[in-house]
Amino acid sequence: MALISSPSRRQGELGFATVLLAVAGFCFATAGDYPGASGTYPKVLSVLLGCGAVLMLLRAWRQTGDDSRAPLVVNLGRCLLGFATLALYILAIDLLGYILPSFVLVVSLPLLLGYRDLRLAFMAAIGGLSFILLVFAVILERPMPADLFDPVLEMLR
């Protein structure tokens, strides 16, 4: 986990302000294509955002001290694991539907984080999923993502 270390807070501030500055520039340039007042308003906003980002850059640049050197992310490894899990989960919903990925997520994520009470995770997964299916699919008849278990769901409706 310690192979990659988190950027410092100061680096974070500088990086984020740069991104915002770029976004502001992009929004300003794109707004040039919009006619009349449709373009003026976003242009003004882009300029404001750009100015704010420049001020932030200056402020972060001059900033020193312990606070600015503190790491931005407490545990970068687990943070990345979190986002990777979320990304995988969403991709899996797209491919396999909601039910199976959801079940796997609730059971496996605690395991990955070193939690060994499988029984509780299992029960939480079953409980949460059946509640969601009951409310969304059965009572309110909301459509669900195309699912492996679609035939089973149809029986429930």
Partner 1 sequence: MKRSQMLLGLAMAVTLGQPALAEYPEKPIEMIVAFAPGGGTDVAARSIAMFMEKHLGNGASIAVINKPGAGGEIGWTALSTAEPDGYTIGMINPPSFVALAVEGKAKYTMEDFQPIGNIVLDPGILVVGKDSPYETLPALVEASKAAPGAIVVGTSGAAGSSEHIGILNLNRSAGTSFTPAFFGSTAPVRQALLGGHIPAATMNLSEALPLVRSGDIRLLGVMSPERSAYLPDAPTFKEQGFELIVTASRGLAAPAGTPPEMVEKLQAALKAAMEDPEYLKTAQEAEIPLAYLDAPAYRALIDQITGELAETWKVTPWR
Partner 2 sequence: MIDALLSALPHVLDPANLFAVLLGTVAGLLVGALPGLTVTTGLAVLIPLTFGMDPLFALGMMAGMYNGGSYGGAIPAILLRVPGTPASVATLLDGYEMTKQGKAAYALQIAVVSGVIGSALSAVSLIVFAPWLVKVSLMFGPAEYFWVALLGLATVASLLGDDFLKGLMAAVIGLLIGTMGTDLATGTERYTFGWLEFADGLDIVVLLTALFAIPPVIQMIETASHQGMPKELLNLRKQGSVLREWRRYLPVWSRSSVIGIIIGILPGAGGSMSCYLAYNDAKRRSPNPETFGKGNPEGVAASECGNGADNAASLIPALSLGIPGSGVAAVILGGLLVHGLRPGPQLFAEHPDVVYGFMLQMLISAGLLVLVGGLAATRIFGQALRLPHVVLAPLILLFVAIGVYAVNNAMFDLYLLLGIGIFAYVMERLDYPSAPIILGVILGPIAESQLSLALTISGGNPFALVSSPMSMIVVTLTLFILCVPLWGMWKGRRSAAA
Give the interface with partner 2 as residue ranges (CB under 8 A): 9, 12-13, 16, 20, 27, 30-31, 34-38, 41-42, 45-46, 48-49, 52-53, 55-56, 59, 72-75, 78-79, 81-83, 85-87, 89-90, 93-94, 98, 102, 105-106, 109-110, 113-115, 117, 120-121, 124-125, 128-129, 132, 135-136, 140-145
Report how far residue 123's alpha carbon sits from residue 48's, in angstroms, rounded to the nearest whole number.
51
The answer to whether 137 and 155 are in contact (CB under 8 A) is no
Q: Which of 134, 138, 146, 148 binds partner 1 (CB under 8 A)?
A: 138
Cβ of residue 101: shortest distance to partner 1, in angstroms? 22
DSSP symbol at 147: -
H/E run at residue 117: none
- DSSP letter at 63 equals -
For partner 2, give the closer residue by CB, 114 or 151: 114
Count of CB atoms situated within 10 Å of the CB of 99: 21
CB of 93 to partner 1, least distance (A): 17
Contacts with partner 1, 59-78, as mask; x by CB under 8 A: --------------------
- How far is the CA of 95 from the CAs of 84, 107, 135, in angstroms? 16, 19, 23
